[in-house]
Every structure is written in C-alpha cells, then in structure tokens.
C-alpha cells in the first residue's frame, strides 16, 4: 500500500519510512531541549539504561555536575517520565561532543536513540560535527544510524 496517502491519512499502516528501513514510530514520546534535568530523574534513567553504579570514578556524586556543566541536554519523555537523554558539550557552531546517550531499557529499539542523536545534531547547528566515544555494546547502533567509526571514536565529519 502507499505509505504516504495524499489524503493526509495513514490508512491502517502507521509505520513510517526513514529511508533505511521500516520503523514503528515511538508513539507518545516527546523530545525537548531542556535546560535542567533533575538529578533524581537522571539517576533513575542511568540505572534503567544499565549503569547501576553511576558515573565512572565519581559514582552518583558526579551526576549533578555532569548535568549542570553540559551545554546541551536533549530529552525523551513518555508523559512526564524521562526515558532517554542525550548529553552533549557543544559550541553550537563547529563541534558537538556527545558525552552520554541513554535510553531506558524498556524503551530501547523503538527509535528513541536515533531520534535523540538527530535532535542533538539539529540543536548543535547544521555545520557542527558530531563526535563521540562509544562503548563496545553500542557500536552496532552508531553504525546503524550512519556514523563512521575509527576505533571506538565515531564522527559524522567527512
């Protein structure tokens, strides 16, 4: 069937085509650039994403500074619940370092991580180059969303 009917409806097929593959949209998830993300919400997300010991070296004591000193926080929420976060350091001009990308385990594989990276890139500015250091488990994800890797450093720079 035509996935893009011209009458504005989606018929009975509510999938969307991204150009790579067919995806179910992450329904009811809202995305935003937030200035302050509460520490307790962030801590819950860190745990839900699998990082039960908090921040390397600093544990949970490091979390408030991590959030406060970031220059870009893009969130994904299911209602009020924080289910995803992209934490970045950027000049919003030429470079954007993604320092953390987290999606709650029960919300993974629904396109939220991809969307958070896309929105981070958009908020950082069209000419900013993304750069990040990936953990081993996430390399397939970064590859899948079109970044290029050199070792465990990934960038969208040419």
Residues that bind ligand COA in the complex, under the rule CB under 6 A: 20-21, 23, 49-50, 101-103, 108-114, 134-135, 137-138, 140-141, 144-145
In angstroms, give the least distance from the CB of 81 to ligand COA. Answer: 15
Q: Which is nearer to ligand COA, 74 or 111 (CB)?
A: 111
Neighbouring residues of 29: CB distance < 8 A, sequence distance ≥ 6: 76, 77, 78, 83, 84, 107, 110, 112, 115
Residues in the chain: 158
- Report d(CA 151, CA 40) in Å as an integer: 34
- Report d(CA 19, CA 143) in Å as an integer: 15
In angstroms, give the least distance from the CB of 45 to ligand COA. Answer: 9
Q: Which is nearer to ligand COA, 8 or 79 (CB)?
A: 79
Q: Which is nearer to ligand COA, 63 or 101 (CB)?
A: 101
CA dihedral sign, ordered 139, 145, 148, 154: negative
In angstroms, give the least distance from the CB of 64 to ligand COA. Answer: 20
Structure token digits, residue 17? 């085509």
In angstroms, give the least distance from the CB of 108 to ligand COA. Answer: 3
Q: Which is nearer to ligand COA, 89 or 138 (CB)?
A: 138
Q: Which is nearer to ligand COA, 16 or 65 (CB)?
A: 16
In angstroms, give the least distance from the CB of 144 to ligand COA. Answer: 4
């Amino acid at each position: 069937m035509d996935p893009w009917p011209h009458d504005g409806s989606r018929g009975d097929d509510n999938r969307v085509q991204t150009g790579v593959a067919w995806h179910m949209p992450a329904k009811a998830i809202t995305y935003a650039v937030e200035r302050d993300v509460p520490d307790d919400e962030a801590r819950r997300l860190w745990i839900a994403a699998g990082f039960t010991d908090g921040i390397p070296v600093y544990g949970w004591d490091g979390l408030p500074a991590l959030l406060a000193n970031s220059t870009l926080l893009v969130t994904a929420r299911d209602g009020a619940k924080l289910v995803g976060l992209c934490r970045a350091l950027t000049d919003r001009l030429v470079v954007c370092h993604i320092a953390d990308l987290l999606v709650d385990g029960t919300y993974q594989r629904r396109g939220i991580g991809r969307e958070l990276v896309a929105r981070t890139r958009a908020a950082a500015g069209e000419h900013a180059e993304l750069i990040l250091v990936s953990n081993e488990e996430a390399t397939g994800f970064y590859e899948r969303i079109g970044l290029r890797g050199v070792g465990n450093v990934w960038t969208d720079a040419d």
